[in-house]
Chain A
Amino acid sequence: MIKRKLTLIMENKPGALVRVVGLFHQRGYNIESLHVDPVDDFTPYKFIEEQLETKFKENEISRLTIQTLVSDSLMRQILRQLNKLIDVIAVSNEETTYLKGVLLDENLL
């Protein structure tokens, strides 16, 4: 078990955060720490806007970081489960980013 950091970019919608937190509980994953902020500078996420052919507006998206204690095999499963949540736009760990249906081989968030 290693402490790993996950970063999520998600829609800032009512109930979105509880879906993420709930998923951790439901699937038996553990949360060491959690931090959420609204995103006001979209510059780092231009690639997401391009990929999804969208334009983020103020207060539309949040950035969430979660520290979790997991094994490597479970890490992949957590990423895939988070990626499946409808309100999650992108999720990454140190090596990988899932951007809605696309798997990218580096941490871009």
Chain B
Amino acid sequence: MGTKLKLSGADMLMHALHDEGVELIFGYPGGAALHIYDAIFRQDKIEHILVRHEQGATHAADGYARSTGKPGVVLVTSGPGATNAITGIATAFMDSIPMVVISGQVASHLIGTDAFQETDMIGISRPVVKHSYCVFDANEIPKIVKEAFHVATSGRPGPVVIDIPKDMTAPDNLFEYEYPKKANIRSYNPPVEPDDNQIERAVTEMLNAKRPVIYAGGGAIASNAEEELFRLNEILDAPVTNTLMGLGIYPATHHRFLGMLGMHGTYQANMAMHNADLIIAIGARFDDRITNNPSKFSPGAKVIHFDVDHSSVSKIIEANIAVFGQVKNSLSAIIKLLETKLDQYNKDTLQPWHDQIKNWKSSHGLNYELYKDESDENPILPQAVVQHVYNITEGKAYVTSDVGQHQMFAAQYYHFDEPRKWINSGSMGTMGFGLPAAMGVKFAFPDEEVLCITGEGSIQMCIQELSTCLQYNLPIKIININNEALGMVKQWQDMNYGGRHSQSTYQNSLPDFVKLAESYGHVGIKVEKNSELKSALEKAFSMKDRLVFVDVYVDPAEHVYPMLIANHSLEDMWLSKDKKT
């Protein structure tokens, strides 16, 4: 006792990660990271998952982070290893996902000499990280790791890069190791507790609203505020809509849930937002896919905006009341004050508003009638695929997705009752995200059903990870909604470019996905007829210990609706190919 452990930089790194509570690292070795990889070999506390491409490592760590709430950890080498990780880092940055990315760097004396596999990782990642560190003194490794995790996970979460020149991890240089108990960054102090005055003003508005809407996004999930949000609405009884990033934070099967809002949001959600007199924004940031034209956005509404990030408030839509702090803490403060004023609130005053919403819902709700005719003369509809998957998994699965039409169909038709179960690249819109993200979720929850709803375009962007799934025996279910085209691009070309399908189809060059899955050691199933769909999906989900790739050929002409009409208000939507509001 009393004598401190003497370790190399690489061993200090592994000790620090373990002391930080890290269980899994997703990575790919290479020259500049080899000292670290040797340290990984000589320890047994942290498991390293070998992916097939560094982009896969970042998305897998991201999926792990989104599903658990814990930071994802990535280890890559310098040069191409580092640059390959950039897309995944940017994806995590745009969706505010906690992640720590450790990149090897060429030795200190080689930096700036155009050395083999040298790239300025700090420079190239700067616009897409919350913060970054380069190690100049190996002694600082424990302190930097502590700070990196603190920055990544506190305030508005995000990715942090630690770039480590190879000499900093050399096996012969030993240092006294001690892991700091606390990160102390004097220039970093994100808000936690809200301002009482703002809480009071917010409650007054809530008590007086006639047409309130709760609009909750990914920030509410990041803050683990689902209980607070639920309790708040037990009191208010307001309609609730979620952003694409917020799905699951409020139970989708709750009778006050309007569905997702925005570009492909439900008719009732967009109409309610447009006609509201009070928008209660909770960890949501009025993204351009939500507001449509900001100058025409919800003309009669006051806005209360709860957020941990000052710069997200009044950026696009001016907030009348801004409540800064951890959303969970802010909502707790609201609830506490509301509970003392229950006698001043009568839920019945919202009844005309609920009646109005009910009318909207019944006139243009998501169109279930589409799927009544499931004879084999009709092509399979992509929406029907998601509905069957939802029914078979009883709405309980972790669902990752890629980007495009299938992503929107999944968001519309898989009804999430819990947060952290819907895992998608919302802001960055990164194709190739779904499969590696599903791996990260499956590592975190090996006993849960994990599925990836994807398309034949997206899945080919990280298809190599099927090999990782075999190595680690990850029985993920991949539902490939195959319309033989880049569906969302094609939809825009149909609607805005006179049907000219520029570079959005493959001219019969798609692989045989069944054989592809089989060559990677998995099971492949092809579905082309409505009559085969349900049984094929049931068969896939019955194979508990195998990865099953279900390749479903769907109607290539189908579009995603509703769809906002660009530059107009939230009231202006295409409801089908020939009908607008």
Contact = CB atoms under 8 A, between A and B. Distances in A.
Interface of A: 10-11, 14-15, 18-19, 22, 26, 52-54, 76-77, 80-81, 83-84, 86-89, 98, 100-101
Contacts of B186: 52-54, 89, 100
Contacts of A54: 186
Given A80-B310, A83-B310, A18 B126 contact: yes
Contacts of A77: 311, 315
Interface string B126-138: 1100111010100
A17 to B, nearest CB: 12
B310 A15 contact: no
A101 B189 contact: yes
Name the interface size band of chain B: 20 to 34
B159 to A, nearest CB: 13
A100 B311 contact: no
Interface string B170-196: 000000000000000111111100000
A54 B136 CA distance: 24
Interface of B: 122-123, 126-127, 130-132, 134, 136, 151, 185-191, 309-311, 314-315
Contacts of A83: 310-311
A101 B191 contact: yes
A26 B315 contact: no
State the 8 A-B residue pairs at the shortest beta-carbon distance, nearest first.
Answer: A80-B311, A101-B189, A100-B189, A86-B131, A80-B310, A89-B187, A54-B186, A52-B186
A88 B187 contact: yes
Contact of B314 (A26, A76, A81, A101): A76
Given A100-B186, A100-B187, A101-B189, 7 more contacts: A10-B187, A14-B134, A15-B126, A22-B126, A52-B189, A100-B188, A101-B190
Contacts of B190: 101
A22 B122 CA distance: 12
A18 B123 contact: yes
Contacts of B134: 14-15
Contacts of A52: 186-187, 189
A19 B130 contact: no
Q: Which of A22, A54, A83, A84 is the most central at the interface, judged by chain B CB atoms within 10 Å of its CB?
A: A84
A81 to B, nearest CB: 5
Nearest to A77: B315
A89 B186 CA distance: 8
Nearest to A82: B311
A1 B215 CA distance: 33
A81 B187 contact: no
Contacts of B131: 86
Q: Which of B126, B131, B186, B191 is the most central at the interface, judged by chain A CB atoms within 10 Å of its CB?
A: B186
A44 B126 CA distance: 31
Given A89-B186, A100-B187, A100-B189, A22 B127 contact: yes
Nearest to A22: B126
Q: Which of A76, A86, A98, A101 is the most central at the interface, judged by chain B CB atoms within 10 Å of its CB?
A: A86
A55 B289 CA distance: 46
Contacts of B315: 77
26 contacts: A11-B187, A14-B136, A15-B126, A15-B132, A18-B123, A18-B126, A22-B126, A22-B127, A26-B127, A52-B186, A52-B187, A52-B189, A77-B311, A77-B315, A84-B309, A84-B310, A84-B311, A86-B130, A86-B131, A87-B187, A89-B186, A89-B187, A98-B310, A100-B186, A100-B187, A100-B189
A49 B187 CA distance: 11
A45 to B, nearest CB: 12
Contacts of A53: 186
A77 to B, nearest CB: 6
B188 A86 contact: yes
A39 B380 CA distance: 69
A86 B185 contact: yes
Contacts of A84: 309-311
Contacts of A14: 134, 136
A52 B123 CA distance: 29
A18 B126 CA distance: 9
B155 to A, nearest CB: 9
